[in-house]
Structure 1
């Protein structure tokens, strides 16, 4: 599995497929961050951006190679393992962007009303929630679940918006909790952020497993 993930990461780097989502995330981070603001607001902005960006990275990973090259990998390993490695490679790439974004928020932010410890924990948890949900959205809106490219892109965009906007959705819950804490100084980690993180992890694991199983059945 490690070799498959390393191969996919090298393929993404050499093909420059990582550049558009990374540049988009970087530009929007620059536009959205203001020096001296509460870091919780910056973490909320970064987390919200990472959800569609992670779904975009998943699409880059599962479409990075020609059909013949992917068929060779499937024959050498297993369709289930190959697809799981592609998704994990996208997750690692998103984690790198998330770390860079968190560092930028900490470097440019001022004092948090909730305190430095809760602000950091809340920001990291919200980031993890949105990255995991972006992984799930990407897994369910690309091959082998959705074979049509244009339809998959629209479906991923719509799903990302819904996950961020629908009340009680984990991403909406954590982003709202961070924004509220930036305004009022109280961050409810155990009552809202951590349950949302658990729900996002379960949903992402299920989406990855379902997509990998479907890839194995179709031999893709």
Structure 2
């Protein structure tokens, strides 16, 4: 699996398909974050914004390889392992993007009302939720689950918005908790960060399993 992820990552970097989501995310971060802002609010913004871009990176990773080359890899390693490698590559890319955004927020932000450990942990937790849910949305809205490109894009955007706006959804919970913590000086780490992370991990694993199962069946 390490070799598959390494190959897929090199393929993604060389294709430059990662540029639009990375540049788009960076531009919106620059427009939305100001120096001296409360760091928790900035981390909430970075995590909420990351979710749809993580799903976009998944779409880039699973469609970057030419059909003939993918067929050769599938015959050698199996469709399930090849597709799982593409999804893991997207998760890695989204995680790096999210960590870079968190670092920028912490460097540019002002003083926080919470301690550095809580601040750092809350930021990592929110980023993890965004990456995991973005991977889930991307896996279910990309091939081989949804073959049609336009429908997949709409499903990706719609799923991302639902996870951010619907009360009780993990992304909504963690973003709201960080915003609340920035205003009131305290973060409920268990209910506001750890629980959404656990739910997001379960959702991501289930979505990846579904996408890999569909990939295996369509390769038969």
TM-score, normalised to structure 2, is 0.98
> 2:38 is matched with which residue?
38
Q: 1:58 Cα shift?
A: 0.3
Q: 1:95 Cα shift?
A: 1.1
> 1:13-55: CA deviations, max 9, x gaps?
1110111100011111111111111110110011011100110
> 2:67 is matched with which residue?
67
1:93 and 1:196 map into 2 onto residues whose CA distance is 21
Q: 1:192 Cα shift?
A: 2.1
Unaligned runs of 5+ in 1: none
> 2:13 is matched with which residue?
13
Q: Contact (CA 8 Å) 2:61, 2:89: kept in 1 or not?
A: yes
> 2:150 is matched with which residue?
150
1:115 and 1:184 map into 2 onto residues whose CA distance is 13
1:78 counterpart = 2:84: no
2:41 and 2:115 map into 1 onto residues whose CA distance is 13
> 2:109 is matched with which residue?
109
2:191 and 2:80 map into 1 onto residues whose CA distance is 36
Matched length: 220
> 1:197 is matched with which residue?
197
Q: Secondary structure at the match of 1:36?
A: coil
2:119 and 2:132 map into 1 onto residues whose CA distance is 20
> 1:189-209: CA deviations, max 9, x gaps?
012211110000010011111
Q: Contact (CA 8 Å) 2:95, 2:127: kept in 1 or not?
A: no
> 2:138 is matched with which residue?
138
TM-score, normalised to structure 1, is 0.98
> 1:3 is matched with which residue?
3
Q: Contact (CA 8 Å) 2:177, 2:187: kept in 1 or not?
A: yes
Q: 1:99 Cα shift?
A: 1.4
Q: Secondary structure at the match of 1:112?
A: coil
2:173 and 2:180 map into 1 onto residues whose CA distance is 10
Map 1:91-106 onto structure 2 (within 5 A). 91-106=91-106
1:66 and 1:37 map into 2 onto residues whose CA distance is 44
The answer to which of 155-164 and 115-124 deviates more is 115-124
2:208 and 2:38 map into 1 onto residues whose CA distance is 35
1:207 and 1:79 map into 2 onto residues whose CA distance is 16
Q: 1:116 Cα shift?
A: 1.8
> 2:172 is matched with which residue?
172
> 2:208 is matched with which residue?
208
Q: Secondary structure at the match of 1:200?
A: helix
Q: Contact (CA 8 Å) 2:52, 2:157: kept in 1 or not?
A: yes
1:65 and 1:191 map into 2 onto residues whose CA distance is 40
